[in-house]
Structure 1
Amino acid sequence: MFLQAFGNTPEVMEQEYGHYQGRSRFVTVIDEEGGSALGVARLILPDATAPVKTLVDVAGEPWHLDVVNSLRAAGLSSRPVWDVASLAVDRRFRSGAAGAEVIVALCHGVHQYSLNCGVEGLVTVLDDRILRVVRAMGMPWTPMAGATSQYYLGSPASTPCVMVMSSVAESIRTRRPDLAPAVIDGIFRSIVLDPADLLPGRGGSLPRVPPCDQPDRPPVGRDRSAWKPPTHRRTGTLVSSPDPST
């Protein structure tokens, strides 16, 4: 997805996001027939050792933002803030009613999962075209204090943004009441949502249980067979793991 849109190869994606794997959570929309991910949003969580990727990136080239002041200006100083590090939709679903519903479902998933986890703010770097789209949807993403539009990871024009979670519902119900049932309440035309998929604790790796007739063996490479992401899914589809490098 990112290769086609911005020229980001799997190697670039691994370099940029690989070391955040343990702190990543994925919200996905999964096709009920093929089991493939139609859309994926990656959330990166902070930990005691490092901030989230967006805050690391905007403190350096080309923005050199004062992250502490940027969060303070948004009313998020010392508040729990997560990173919407990436959002991608299969190219077959980037237009038309089906594509629009996938995007709206991802927005709902990110919003509801973050609220359920007690997150008070989200940060991201958005391609300016995408920023216009999500703002037209009523999502109150705003540029960080001092941020300008700059080249970023293949996008010729991207802007660091912040969103205060407590303002989302009112903004959408006021500016786009037609989207509120989907984005806020999770009611869709063709996508079936299990609210349990967006509860805190979803999205982590489950321990691998070897078959009873085989001895324990150390995993080889990256084992995702037990990955259980928070997911929007269509009827009859099992939760599966998207590949974050796509």
Structure 2
Amino acid sequence: MAFRLLVAHSPAERDAARQVEADVFLQAFGNTPELLAQEYGPYEERSRFVAVIDDESGVALGTARLITDGAAPVKTVLDIAGAPWHLPVAESLAAVDLEPATVWDVASLAVDPRYRAGAAGAEVSVALCHGIWRYARNCGVPGMVTILDDRVHRLVRAMGLPWHAMAGATSQPYLGSPASTPCVFAVATAEAEVYGSRPDLAPALDHGVFRSITVDPADLAATRGTFVDSAEPALVGAPRRDTTGWRPPTVRRESAPLR
């Protein structure tokens, strides 16, 4: 097996990432393709996918959907401004020197159930976390937001990742989760926090050192991940390898792998 961490760039890579996202959400929550299209369709051209892909089959083992900043707020910002939190988003983010207009959204995180257990499976989740953090830094993103089921929040915190509850946020029932909390990740302070809390995992989380997953810095470059229409030629800066082969949404969940 040849597993590789990358930011999906080609249509085939993006399709593989969407497929594992769809499969996991259908299995875990009964979310249909139609529902996912309703929820994420408005953000499709702003979506970038960090994924672990099997180079031999082209299948994605796991993925994280990132929604970039743009003219309209990211999905999480809209969600937390409404029920059940009604957070004053600007004030909450200002507490960690961030602004709603510049944060990115970790809108989903999905890992194939076959790759959640054992050392190799754990590496898929850690690799995705590394990819999210490294890609954000490469793109000059100051911070990220998400809504985490509290069990997921405890797990990522145990991994040493500084996803902190947003100022003023409380744990609330949310779209099938009995307890979820809006969280924020400030890139400027993340490195010191990771090394301070989990120096044993820092080489993997910070530098992408894994036993079973290949990490090429070029695969996480800021030039990757921009929307590519399958009918148009690839953009300059595409992968070096041949890798072909304002209404608040109704549903948003973090995927089951980390619950």
Matching residue of 2:87: 65
Q: What is the aligned partner in structure 2 of residue 28 from structure 1?
A: 51
Q: How does 1:7-156 map to 2 (within 5 A)?
A: 7-48=30-71, 50-77=72-99, 80-156=102-178
Distance across 1 between alignment mates of 2:196 and 2:91: 29
**1:74 to partner: Cα distance:** 1.8
Shift of residue 10, structure 1, vs aligned partner: 2.0
Take 2:159 and 2:242, find their aligned partners in 1: how far apart are those partners? 28
Structure 1 vs Structure 2: percent identity of aligned residues? Answer: 60
AA paired with 1:98?
A
Alignment match, 1:196: 218
User: d(CA) in 2 for partners of 1:98 and 1:132?
Assistant: 21
Residue 207 of structure 1 deviates from its aligned partner by: 5.3
Which residue number corresponds to residue 167 of structure 1? 189
Q: Cα deviations across residues 28-74 of structure 1 (Å, max 9, x unaligned)?
A: 000133221001001001212x1100000000111111111111112
Pair 1:158 & 2:173 matched? no
The Cα of 1:208 is off from its aligned counterpart by 4.8
Query: Gapped runs of 5+ residues in structure 2?
Result: 1-23, 246-254
1:6–1:226: structure 2 CA closer, same or farther, 3 Å change rule? farther
> What secondary structure, in the 3-state scheme, does the structure 1 residue paired with 2:146 have?
strand
List gaps (5 residues or longer) in structure 1: 211-224, 241-245
What's the CA shift for 1:128?
A: 1.1
Q: How far apart are the structure 1 equivalents of 2:210 and 2:25?
A: 26
Cα 1:130/1:139, change in 2 over 3 Å: same
C-alpha offsets along residues 188-218 of structure 1, whole Å, 9 cap, x if unaligned?
Answer: 10101111111112112335568xxxxxxxx
SS of equivalent residue, structure 2 residue 106: strand
Across the aligned residues of Structure 1 and Structure 2, the Cα RMSD in angstroms comes to 2.5
Q: Distance in 1 between matches of 2:235 and 2:125?
A: 22
- TM-score, normalization by structure 1: 0.82
Cα distance in 1 for residues equivalent to 2:228 and 2:212: 29
Distance 1:205 1:24 in 2: 8
Give the 3 Å change call, closer, same or farther, for CA 152–201 of structure 1 in structure 2: farther
Which region of structure 1 is more displaced relative to structure 2, 94-103 or 150-159?
A: 150-159
Q: CA deviation at 1:118?
A: 0.5
Q: How many residues align?
A: 221
Q: Distance in 2 between matches of 1:88 and 1:31?
A: 15
What amino acid is the match of 2:26? Answer: L
Name whichever structure is richer in helix by fraction: 2
2:209 is the counterpart of 1:187: yes
Partner Cα separation in structure 2 for residue 63 and residue 87 of structure 1? 22
**CA distance in 1 between partners of 2:214 and 2:27 (Å):** 29
Letter in 2 for 1:39: G
Code of the aligned partner of 2:61: L
Residues 178 and 142 of structure 1: CA distance in aligned 2, closer, same or farther (over 3 Å): same
3-state SS of 2:91 partner: helix
Q: Which has the larger radius of gyration?
A: 1
Q: Secondary structure at the match of 2:57?
A: coil
- Which range is displaced more, 131-140 or 147-156? 147-156
